[in-house]
Amino acid sequence: MIVLIVNCGSSSIKYQLYDMPGRKVLAKGLLERIGEGASALTHRRGEEKFEIARPIPDHKTGLSLILSCLADPGRGVLKNVREISAVGHRVVHGGERYSNAMRIDQDVIGCIGDCCDLAPLHNPPNLVGIQECTLALPGVPMVAVFDTAFHQTLPREAYLYGLPYEIYERYRIRKYGFHGTSHAYVTNRAAKLLGKPEAEVNLITCHLGNGSSMAAVRNGKSVDTSMGFTPLAGLVMGTRSGDLDPAIIPYLNSKQEYSRVADIDRMLNKKSGLLGISGISNDMRTLGDEAAKAGASSRPQLAINIFCYRIKAFLGQYMAILGRVDAVCFMGGIGENSAAVREQCLAGLENFGIAIDLQKNRNFPRGEECDISEAASRTRVLVIPTDEEGWIAEETYKLCK
């Protein structure tokens, strides 16, 4: 079965084409700057890379270009787009309604639309991608895989805030959690690496990248997660603040510089986190290089320290919630590639049964799964490169096979 995975952003489309069930990637690419003058498509077929620069006014035109590339004699891998058997769509928000992937019908489309006010930057372009793929590939089944779905198993004491209960009932303000496809994929892979049924594993999964989140997983199900009503909550991230005292918002709003709530929102989402603390960059690699030159008291090192401190604090919280932890799992761009961050996050946790082998942590092949624990560590420490698109393809295949 040929499965196309589509992830529509506000001005971009990521895609991967799979041959299932073997999860073989046939082609993939990224179309950027839709609606701008200098749109660009990077299309990959195996080791070959093709770049196309042309104005792309809208997502419909962009998807048409992508489909033509997939079936192009010189760049493509299909004789005809009719070979595509199903399309899986990453949808950021499914609200409280969906805890699994769903075949898309009018009911599902209505729910995605209802959640647009919860994810105004993501759900509208997700809907556009669904609608345009349905028009371009008539009769081909469409599947929605929700970023929030994995966390719908949180108990009420974990997902409700200390607000008047009527606020939750009226506006559905609660913790939803995100990065669900990544946490779900890594939970599945960790169970296999540990040689245990997924329904019996207790894990702390750490998706660390420009956007970062953690999850406490009991018996294969998410029971708590660091992101909340929006992806702004929890850990310090590349440009997002993470958790803070809510009274900071009205305090800043009383100042002339932040008299508009939109300016506070932009600052918290775009100018905070590693970038705001360091004053230099939101890229952990850049911060590591600058900290090495500037020293332990520098702002780049401070940003790294705060990032790791917050992760360690959540580790302790989730260890208390779970009781038994079979493994701590690292994934995402930073989680997979920064040995220094992993070491700093786990330093001093030996008394809690978590110890890593420094040589394994620093020297295992990049891009591969690895158990970096010391032999005597009661809790394993696993590095598992995440594969969100592959997970979406798997969920799509299971629903459509």
Determine the longest span between alpha carbons in the chain, in angstroms: 61
CA dist 329 → 172, 194, 241, 304, 364 (Å): 31, 11, 23, 19, 15
CA–CA separation, 284 vs 383, rounded Å? 18
Segment (H or E) for 69 = helix 59-70
CA distances from residue 126 to 89, 100, 116 in whole angstroms, order as listed:
7, 17, 10
Radius of gyration of the chain measured on its C-alpha atoms: 22
Cis peptide before 21 (omega within 30 of 0): yes
Number of C-beta neighbours around residue 52 at 10 A:
16
CA distance 62 to 78: 18
Residue of 58, 44, 51, 81 whose CA lies nearest to 8: 58
> Active site residue: 72, 105, 107, 147, which one?
147
The whole-angstrom separation of Cα 242 and Cα 231 is 8
Rounded Cα–Cα distance for residues 359 and 113 (Å): 49
- Catalytic site residue 147? yes
Name the phi and psi angles at 5, rounded to 5. -110, 130
Active site residues: 147
